[in-house]
């Protein structure tokens, strides 16, 4: 069975307009996605998430390395064929002015097939995105939540097997976020592989099967969400955080922090006391996906 998305040692840089060294957006990324998997690409703004998605969608070519969608490069002469399999939902989509929602989807569907079949494709996409109430509305006048659903509809149109969704939850309220999560999950249940990016990983717990952490263009972590979410964290509040933390601890703004793993909180606190650190308070919390972003990792030069 072919792998829906394979990236191996991918590198992509952008030239500066007025000279100078190029900006390395993706320094090194290697991963592959399985069919029906929902993977979340998390990282700070400028980490290279959008570039990686655009590489997967064939909108950019890698400078080095391999990007394959179902065993074929998504750019060059294969591009139009591969785009039957891969959909891309940009973060800030622009729809043709004066088009209604139905017309936007039919306009896109006509690239896949003709006549009645195109209308059927557009209708299916409308249902998937729950846009039935908006079909006659102008796409440019839609609110953010409906516009994001229209973006998802055009992305999934034609029962594509790989959906690359850029920042789908940015600016959405909790209800719209949950609704979009459910729709993405429905796509994955139907067999599509979903790779979505988010600068804010909060709330992705219930959606992600797997989390890829991108930092300064490097893929620094690739793990199942259950692994990243399974642990407990001990937070220690101190009067003055030490310059050199005890082994297994990291310095935070208010004191120290440590992954507990199989240790008890008491054992970890005993380590602090052994180092003669003044503990003001402590608490244990469950790990969230945002911890994956802040976990101590050696600084990666850009």
Partner 1 sequence: MDLLRTIRAEWPVLRIRLLRTRLGLWLVLVVAALLWIERAAPRSDPLTTILQAGTLGAVLCVGYLVGSGADRAALLLPLLHPTTPGALVLGRWAAATGGAALAVLAVAAHTAWTTGAVAASLSAALAGLAAAAAVASCTLALVLTGGNLLATLSFVWLALVGSAPPETVIGVPHAGSIRVALAVVLELAPAPWRYRAISTGDAGALLHAAAWVALGLAAARSLVGRVSLSTR
The span of 85-93, 124-132, 212-220, 244-252 binding partner 1 (CB under 8 A) equals 85-93
Q: Which residues of 97-111 are buried (b: 16+ CB within 10 A; e: fewer)?
A: eeebbbbbbbbbbee
Footprint of partner 1 on residues 17-46 (CB under 8 A)? 25
Helix (H, G, I), strand (E, B) or coil at 277: coil
Q: Does 88 bind partner 1 (CB under 8 A)?
A: yes
CA 82 centroid distance within chain:
21
Footprint of partner 1 on residues 93-122 (CB under 8 A)? 93-99, 103-104, 106-108, 110-114
Nearer to partner 1, 51 or 197 (CB): 51
Q: How far is the CB of 279 from partner 1 (least distance, A)?
A: 47
Instruction: Choose among 233, 228, 231: nearest CA to 256.
Output: 233
Residues 181/205, Cβ–Cβ less than 8 Å: no
Q: Does 146 bind partner 1 (CB under 8 A)?
A: no
CA distance 288 to 269: 22
Nearer to partner 1, 100 or 185 (CB): 100
Q: How far is the CB of 249 from partner 1 (least distance, A)?
A: 38
CA distance 159 to 70: 15
First to last CA, the chain: 36
Q: How far is the CB of 83 from partner 1 (least distance, A)?
A: 5
Nearer to partner 1, 155 or 211 (CB): 155
CA distance 172 to 175: 8
| Binding-site member from 36, 65, 73, 79 for partner 1 (CB under 8 A) | 79
| Alpha carbon separation from 33 to 13, 25, 106, 219 (Å, rounded) | 23, 21, 30, 14
Q: Does 247 bind partner 1 (CB under 8 A)?
A: no
Nearer to partner 1, 53 or 213 (CB): 53
Which residues have CB under 8 Å from 44's CB, separation 6+? 199, 215, 293
Nearer to partner 1, 84 or 178 (CB): 84
Nearer to partner 1, 111 or 178 (CB): 111
Footprint of partner 1 on residues 261-300 (CB under 8 A)? none
Residues 134/101, Cβ–Cβ less than 8 Å: yes
Q: How far is the CB of 39 from partner 1 (least distance, A)?
A: 20
Cα four-point dihedral sign 207, 58, 171, 289:
positive
Q: Does 69 bind partner 1 (CB under 8 A)?
A: no
What are the residues binding partner 1 (CB under 8 A)? 14, 25, 50-51, 57, 59-60, 79-81, 83-84, 87-88, 90, 93-99, 103-104, 106-108, 110-114, 140, 154-155, 157-158
């Amino acid at each position: 069975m072919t792998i829906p998305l394979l990236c191996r040692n991918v590198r992509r840089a952008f030239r500066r307009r007025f000279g100078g060294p190029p900006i390395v957006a993706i320094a090194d990324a290697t991963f592959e996605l399985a069919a029906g998997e929902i993977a979340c690409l998390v990282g700070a703004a400028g980490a290279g998430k959008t570039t990686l998605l655009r590489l997967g969608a064939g909108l950019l070519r890698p400078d080095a390395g391999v990007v394959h969608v179902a065993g074929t490069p998504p750019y060059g002469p294969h591009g139009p064929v591969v785009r039957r399999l891969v959909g891309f939902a940009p973060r800030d989509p622009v729809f043709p002015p004066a088009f209604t929602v139905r017309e936007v989807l039919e306009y896109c569907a006509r690239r896949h097939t003709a006549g009645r079949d195109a209308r059927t494709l557009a209708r299916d996409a409308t249902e998937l995105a729950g846009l039935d109430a908006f079909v006659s509305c102008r796409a440019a006048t839609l609110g953010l939540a409906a516009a994001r659903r229209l973006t998802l509809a055009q992305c999934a149109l034609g029962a594509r097997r790989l959906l690359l969704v850029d920042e789908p939850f940015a600016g959405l309220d909790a209800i719209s976020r949950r609704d979009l999560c459910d729709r993405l999950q429905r796509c994955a249940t139907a067999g599509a592989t979903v790779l979505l990016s988010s600068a804010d990983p909060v709330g992705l717990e219930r959606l992600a099967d797997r989390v890829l952490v991108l930092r300064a263009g490097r893929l620094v972590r690739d793990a199942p969400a259950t692994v990243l979410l399974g642990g407990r964290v001990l937070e220690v509040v101190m009067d003055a955080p030490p310059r050199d933390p005890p082994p297994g601890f990291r310095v935070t703004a208010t004191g120290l922090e440590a992954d507990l793993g199989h240790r008890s909180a008491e054992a970890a606190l005993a380590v602090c006391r052994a180092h003669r650190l003044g503990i003001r308070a402590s608490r244990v919390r469950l790990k969230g996906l945002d911890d994956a972003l802040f976990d101590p990792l050696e600084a990666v030069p850009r």
